[in-house]
Amino acid sequence: MGPPGAGKGTQAGPVKKAYKMAHISTGDILRENVRSCTELGAAAKRYMDAGSLVPDSLIIEMMESRLNEEDASEGFMLDGFPRTVAQATALDELLEKMGSRIDAAILIEVDDDVVIRRLTSRRVCSACGAIYNAIAHKTKVDGVCDNCSGPVIQRDDDAESVIRHRLSVYHDETAPLMDYYEKAGKLRRVDGLGPVDGVLSCLVSMKN
Ligand code: AMP
């Protein structure tokens, strides 16, 4: 968990490698649906473009089918889900039916002004999803992904006005989840302000 731009996607790559668990990002699944013009993608697009949340019913149905895929049976890391208390409750019910549970909810904490600075300069590869930064982590060739040579772009929802809206959605709808997981004794907090490697060591030492 954490505001947009906290570093959830950036940290997920190495954590997934270290623990060989499925990385399930609702944002990535939705963007893939938009790209391949599915019914879900068509329904979700206008919410995503506006920086608003896609309705819970669509997200919960999508996650029910994703969590039943083979690669999730040995453990998984959720990224960008749940984002509302209704999603968290539905997730707990779903996992109980599957004989599973969430071990921990990790909150990466970052202030709003840092989020705005980071996201307005964030760039992503539209082919492989690699994340860059126009100031701090540029591609070797302008606009071309170092990993796969795909096109590196700015996400439409990383425009400043959309970021401000996403932050207010986060504070109103997602921040109450901290209470939900704190009461369940599952909340772990990590300072997301340091360098990527420092945040990663905190995450990794939590697991041990
Ligand atoms: P992200 O890549 O996690 O920042 O997600 C991008 C966009 O996808 C969000 O701004 C929402 O419009 C939508 N989205 C992703 N995850 C969820 C979720 N759990 N609930 C509702 N909308 C979501």
User: For a substitution probing ligand 1, which of 31, 83, 125, 170 has the most ligand atoms within 8 Å of its CB?
Assistant: 83
Q: How many residues does the chain have?
A: 208
What residue owns the CA closest to ligand 1's atom 5? 27
CA distance 143 to 154: 10
Any ligand 1 atom below 6 A from CB of 170: no
Question: Cα(204) to centroid of ligand 1, in Å?
Answer: 25
What residue owns the CA closest to ligand 1's atom 19? 81
Angle between helices 196-207 and 8-19 (to 10 degrees): 50
The reported pTM is: 0.85
CA distances from 207 to 102, 104, 105, 201, 203 (A): 13, 9, 12, 10, 7
The pLDDT of residue 101: 94
Query: Residues 169, 87: contact at Cβ < 8 Å?
Result: no
The domains found in the chain, sorted by start residue, are 8-110+160-192 (3.40.50.300)
Hey, which residues does 151 pair with through a beta bridge?
Answer: 144
Given strand 131-133, what is the order of strands in its sheet? Answer: 131-133, 122-125, 152-153
10-19, 130-139, 162-171: the lowest-pLDDT one = 10-19
Any ligand 1 atom below 6 A from CB of 157: yes
Q: Give residue-wise pLDDT tens across range 66-110.
A: 999 999 988 999 999 999 999 999 999 999 999 999 999 999 999
The pLDDT of residue 207: 55
What residue owns the CA closest to ligand 1's atom 2? 27
Any ligand 1 atom below 6 A from CB of 26: yes
Q: Give residue-wise pLDDT tens across range 29-53.
A: 999 999 999 999 999 999 999 989 9
Query: Residues 196, 10: contact at Cβ < 8 Å?
Result: yes
Question: Cα(120) to centroid of ligand 1, in Å?
Answer: 17
Any ligand 1 atom below 6 A from CB of 4: yes
> What beta strand segments (E) does the chain contain?
22-25, 76-79, 105-109, 122-125, 131-133, 152-153, 187-191
Residues 6+ apart with CB under 8 A from 102: 78, 91, 92, 95, 186
Any ligand 1 atom below 6 A from CB of 76: no
The pLDDT of residue 208: 46
Any ligand 1 atom below 6 A from CB of 129: no
Q: Give residue-wise pLDDT tens across range 99-141.
A: 999 999 999 999 999 999 889 999 999 999 898 999 888 999 9
